[in-house]
Amino acid sequence: MADRLSPERRSWLMSRVKGKGTRPEMAVRRLAHSLGLRFRLHKAELPGRPDLAFPRFKTVVFVHGCFWHRHTGCKKATSPKSRVDYWGKKFHANIARDARNAADLKRLGWRVLTVWECETKNPELLRKKLDGVRAIEMDRTDGKH
């Protein structure tokens, strides 16, 4: 199936896809901050430049878009019908890179949490995920917060 957009228009459209400060990332940041969790953004010295890093707890959070990072079973993880080979390779490379970054971070002693774009729409699920960071804090302070 041919792309309905010209190559120039498609290029322009794809150039508008943000990598930082996305709506899902902002939702995670707001909730983490409201829970009293303090973090660093996009730490360049860490593999994969995690969206949020909690150095005190050696935990990082990646906020992944369901389409780009292929959230299994998610309706947002559709595949384009044009240039199937290109997109297949692109998605495979993204998944491999994500796995490599997570393995590298774990080797360095970091805990890795992934929050999917679709999960940011459910505040309770998101809170539960971020409470995982808080649970580490409670363990390290022997329950004294």
Question: In this predicted structure, what is the pLDDT of residue 145?
Answer: 47
pLDDT of residue 48 exceeding 80, the answer is: yes
Most confidently modeled range among 72-76, 103-107, 136-140: 103-107
Give the Å distances, CA to CA, from 135 to 38, 63, 80, 98. 14, 20, 40, 25
From CA 80, how far away is CA 122, in angstroms rounded? Answer: 27
From CA 3, how far away is CA 66, in angstroms rounded? Answer: 22
- Indicate the domain borders of the chain: 20-140
From CA 3, how far away is CA 10, in angstroms rounded? Answer: 9
How much is the average pLDDT of 97-101?
Answer: 97
pLDDT of residue 90 exceeding 80, the answer is: yes
Contacts of 27 (CB under 8 A, 6+ apart): 120, 126
CATH topology for 20-140 is Endonuclease; Chain A (3.40.960)
Q: What is the pTM of this model?
A: 0.81
Of 17, 24, 115, 116, nearest in space to 75 by CA: 116
